Structure 1
Amino acid sequence: MSRLFLLLPVAAAAVWFVQRYREGAFNRTKRPRLPAAAPAQPAATPAWVYRPEDYGLVADELLDTRLPGPDTELVKALEAASTGDWAPASELLAASDPEWRWIRVTVLASAAAEDDSWVRAWRAARPGDAAAVLVSAESLVALAWKLRGNRGAKDTTREQFENFHRVLAQASGALAEAARLAPEDPCPYIAMIRVALGEGWAHEHMHALWREVVVRAPHHVGAHSAALQYWCAKWRGSDEHMHAFAESAVAQAPAGSLLPLLRLIALFEELHEEQRSHPRYQSAEATAAIDALFADLAMAPPGHPWLPAARHLLVWFLRAQRRTVEAAEQLRLVDGFIGALPWRYYLDPVAFYCSVRQNLVLAAAHLIREAEEAKMNEARTMER
């Protein structure tokens, strides 16, 4: 009896549980299913982020490090050469005057220093073609300097020097052949200047080579630019030799030749490792050199091959003189091409140019805005 009494609460609890279960008291409420997460969208570029395209400039990744300025035919020749087709390069050089010819030969030769299969095919097809021999010879000069590296003598290994001089000797013989095949062409003699620099020719020997150049092309900017390197303090001359050479060339130059560019090249060679605050950048000499080049630019023919190189250096010196708006104007005229001084002196010319360009363009835009606002305020004041 006592056991039955003890079971009564259990039975009552069971009856209550069954009744409540039927009423649905113990059914779990289903959680609402969350909608599937939308795929992540790329973050929009914030409006304040600088993009060169927004200022009418070429995108960083499209900058051409080979050329100082536009040369559609040369680009086509380079593209053809990369596929093994040498004919466009041959035709282009045959149609080029000595100034254009030298610029194009050096660019084509730089490409051949990386892969000369197309030049070898050219020479095989036309053994007596002076242009083919010249490009091949200049490619050896470019290769020799590449093997040497761009460090100072104390940081260059014995092996690098041996390879440098071995290939440079080959280039010397090839250039002699190019000169024999085209006796009136100054380009083989101009190319020999870098051989003379590398081999450490005495001044007397260099003077003899220079006479061969000027008798063929007395006002050739490319030739003078190459020779100025020989007379630099870092090579076979001094600051005094270098500036004297530049002044002598400018004194004899016809209007519009762009030889006044040499003064800025000489100043750049002297100062490029200095801060922009260096007093020589602000000197009367630097200002006179800038102004003289501007005057010569105005008289130069529109298609002068050294116009882009002149503008690149003007960007550098105008910026150093805080002539920001003028510097930005010159930069816009050559933007997209950085195969020139000052950019090619830097280990990463693209990064350096992009940094200078951004600072310069933004600063110029700010100054122009300020000038426009000042004019508007002045106009309002006059109306009152």
Structure 2
Amino acid sequence: MLRRRPSLLIRPALDDDLLHATLAELRPARQLHGLGAGTTRPVWEPAARLLRGTGRDWDRRAHRVSVLAGQLPAVVSQRWSADRPGDGDALVLRACVETIRAPAEGHAAVRAAERTCLRAADTCPGDPTPWLALLSLMHSCAVPVQDAVPVWREAVRRAPWHRTAYHRLLGYLSPRGHGTLPEMMEFAWQAAARAPHGSPVALLPVAARVELTAHRRAASPLDALGTNVDWSGPRAVQEIDMALTGWFRTAAPAHAEAVADLNVLAFALTRAHRPDEAAPVFRRVGRHMTRHPWDLLPDPERTFVYWRNSLAGHRRG
């Protein structure tokens, strides 16, 4: 059995080394279970330092807050917001933590999470992150799409072409979420067609096609065996071309979740049997594999390593 190669980095922080270091700093059991007892700084200080340094980079802020909320014990955000009740960063992190936990805790917890999101939005009026947290809460609670779209619009009004905002709504519109296949594909195509040159939103139709593959695989494993057809048709070719020319081959600076988008693009190019174009994508991915979308294939790590290594000698594109 193939063990995970040491050269692979599969981590929630992606290639954000500051975020990864902050998670490592916050995880020691002595700090978390003792709430920092005996130390000269509060338990939440590393998270506060990270978000303070992130500033108004809304793209990176959304990524960092989301990862912190999903990886850290809730006690960190609870203690921070209790110690600094007017701190916007503390409120935003707590809102994201509560939206993750509340749906499993019942109606009262959901209502409390909603209030925390709105408080965070009031405290940080220019920040789209509280609205994205509220959108995630609505998704978890199966709120109809038409009621969620205004919340999504609040996020993109504050940060037009926000990569995370578009992917969150794509998930909402997915047949695995609360929408339909035509709604999802139409949204992805319209967004990509209007996106500025260099925006990662150009990849949205490819991400939608990956979501279609996941939907079919969940519906019937036998259907998944034929999903290569989805990657070879004219529409799929056009989607991949749009991602390559509209984002990958541009001079746009890397965004916070570029590693995740590169993995999606590499996956699509291997499914579409386009090795010459996949090779430079894998070179840019480097060691940073993401579990999705490779988890749609048998033995994801072996498959990723196979393609990365076999394409290493291809001509540079």
TM (normalized to structure 2)?
Answer: 0.81
Whether the aligned pair in 2 keeps the contact of 1:196 and 1:206 (CA below 8 Å) is yes
Determine whether 1:360 maps to 2:302. Answer: no
- 1:54-65 aligned within 5 A: 59=6, 63-65=9-11
Say whether 1:116 aligns with 2:74: yes
Q: In the aligned structure 2, how far is the partner of 1:270 from the partner of 1:204? A: 21
Matches within 5 A, 1:74-153: 74-83=19-28, 84=31, 85-96=43-54, 97-112=57-72, 115-144=73-102, 147=104
What amino acid maps onto 1:204 in structure 2?
Q
Cα distance in structure 2, aligned partners of 1:317 and 1:251 = 19
Give distance in 1, aligned partners of 2:171 and 2:271: 23
Partners of 2:225 and 2:106 lie apart in 1 by 33
Once the two structures are TM-superposed, the CA of residue 105 in structure 1 deviates from its matched residue by 0.5
Q: Could you tell me how far apart the structure 1 residues matched to 2:47 and 2:288 are? A: 20
Counterpart of 1:341 in structure 2 is 292
In structure 2, how many angstroms separate the alpha carbons of the residues matched to 1:179 and 1:144? 18
Q: How far did 1:340 drift? A: 5.9
Distance in structure 1 (CA, Å) of the matches to 2:168 and 2:95: 16
Q: Which of 154, 160, 175 does residue 117 from structure 2 map onto?
A: 175
Unpaired runs of 5+ in structure 1?
A: 1-48, 53-57, 148-162, 372-384
Following the alignment from structure 1 to structure 2, what is the Cα–Cα distance between the partners of residues 184 and 64?
32
Tell me the matched-pair count. 291
CA distance, structure 1, for counterparts of residue 140 and residue 171 of structure 2? 11
Give the C-alpha shift of residue 354 in structure 1: 1.4
Q: Output one character per residue of 1:295-325: Cα deviation in whole Å (capped at 9) or x when no partner.
A: 1222243332232122101111111112235
Q: 1:262 to 1:364 in 2, by over 3 A?
A: same
CA separation of 1:59 and 1:191: change in aligned 2, threshold 3 A: same
Task: Find out whether 1:279 has 2:239 as its counterpart.
Answer: no
Q: Contact 1:312–1:342 (CA<8 Å) still a contact in 2?
A: yes
Paired with 1:300 and 1:141, the residues of 2 have a C-alpha distance of 36
Q: Which has the larger radius of gyration?
A: 1
The 2-side partners of 1:75 and 1:363 are apart by 29
Mapping of 1:189-228 within 5 angstroms?
189-228=131-170
Say if 2:243 is the partner of 1:293.
yes
Q: Confirm or deny: 8 A CA contact 2:121 2:130 kept in the other structure.
A: yes
* 208, 211, 223: which one aligns with 1:269: 211
The one-letter code matched in structure 2 to 1:322 is H
Aligned partners of 2:135 and 2:152: how far apart in 1?
A: 8
Quick check: 269-278 or 72-81, which moved more? 269-278
Q: CA RMSD in A?
A: 2.8
- The normalised TM-score by structure 1 is 0.68
* Cα separation, 2, equivalents of 1:51 and 1:170: 43
Which residue identity lines up with residue 70 of structure 2 in the other structure?
Answer: S
Give the match for residue 264 of structure 2.
313
Letter of the 2:281 counterpart: Q
